[in-house]
Amino acid sequence: MATSQLRQQERKAQQLPPAPHRSGVSGGITPDQLTRARRELGRYLAQWRVSAGLRQDELGKLVCYSRTHIANIEAGRDNTTRVFWHNADTALGASGTLLAMSDQLHALVRGFQAQRERARDQERQKTATPPPPFTSPVTDCPGECGRGPTVIGRWTGREVRALREALRMSVCAFAEHLGMTAATVAGWEHQAIPALPEQSALDQALRLADTDSRTRFRLLLDNPDAPIPGANDSPSTADTPAPTTISRAYRS
């Protein structure tokens, strides 16, 4: 570009007001502030365009945008991309003024979006449903407790012991009732997880239990820290009904 043209653009630039400096916005950012900032940037683009002696369509050809798009940007309806502002700044000889203003606007938009996301997070925390209270792993039975079906998702030592105590059986008697060894039952009650065939045997034992035993089973699950005195003792044959093996099909 000729020296005379450069000097002419410098004189025109001196006639334009300096770009406002927005280092930050005190308090929260509002949509109205974003609208004013876009319009302000659009007005400065129009001033630089007029100062360069260009029409909207002529500027559009220089930056590969349509005249309508340029008109929308100057009206503050579209702040477009940083690439546009870089090209427009270069084409109009704004010496980085328009690009700096667009960067400030984009920072304002990012701050507004972050502020809105924080507000949404706070609202979600206020309306979040508190965690449900602890409930027994046994599904609720319809109607009076003990009359509906009782289901265990996974048998652990806690449920095994509760069932044994509900049936009023010692470890040996309960093991015989299931068709297992006493060592196996004792292992379950000491945190060993029954295998799948053994889980099925326990399911069947629970299904075959009478109403009173199922009721006791629920009560024992709800009060695991209150074991029955003598529950681990080996009762005499006179005090204990003869167990009936129910899981011969589960033996390997």
Structural domain tally of the chain? 2
Token digits of residue 61: 């050809």
DSSP string, the chain: --HHHHHHHHHHHHHSPPPPP----SS---HHHHHHHHHHHHHHHHHHHHHTT--HHHHHHHHT--HHHHHHHHTTS----HHHHHHHHHHHT-TTHHHHHHHHHHHHHHHHHHHHHHHHHHHHHHHPPPPPPP--SBPPPSSSTTTS---BSS--HHHHHHHHHHTT--HHHHHHHHT--HHHHHHHHTTPPPPHHHHHHHHHHHHHS-HHHHHHHHHHHH-TT-PPTTTTS---TTTSPPP----GGG--
Name the more confident of 43 and 6. 43
CATH code where residue 95 lies? 1.10.260.40
Mean pLDDT, residues 5-33 taken together:
57
Mean pLDDT, residues 18-41 taken together:
73
- Name the least confident of 12-21, 30-39, 200-209: 12-21
Residue 224, domain extent: 157-250
Q: 17 pLDDT exceeds 70?
A: no
Q: Which of 115, 142, 176 delimits the end of a domain?
A: 115
Is residue 121 a part of any domain in this protein? Answer: no
56/69 Cα distance (integer angstroms): 9
Same domain, 105 and 201: no
* pLDDT of the residue at 45: 94
**Predicted model pTM:** 0.43
Among 204, 214, 207, which residue's Cα sits nearest to residue 165?
214
Query: Tens digits of per-residue pLDDT, 189-222?
Result: 987 888 888 888 899 889 888 888 889 998 988 8
Q: Which of 59, 85, 115 delimits the end of a domain?
A: 115
% of the chain at pLDDT higher than 70: 69
Query: Tens digits of per-residue pLDDT, 154-176?
Result: 899 889 999 999 999 999 989 88
Average pLDDT of the chain is: 77
* 53 torsion bin: left (phi>0), alpha (psi -120 to 50), beta (else): left
Q: Which of 115, 143, 176 delimits the end of a domain?
A: 115
Same domain, 105 and 198: no
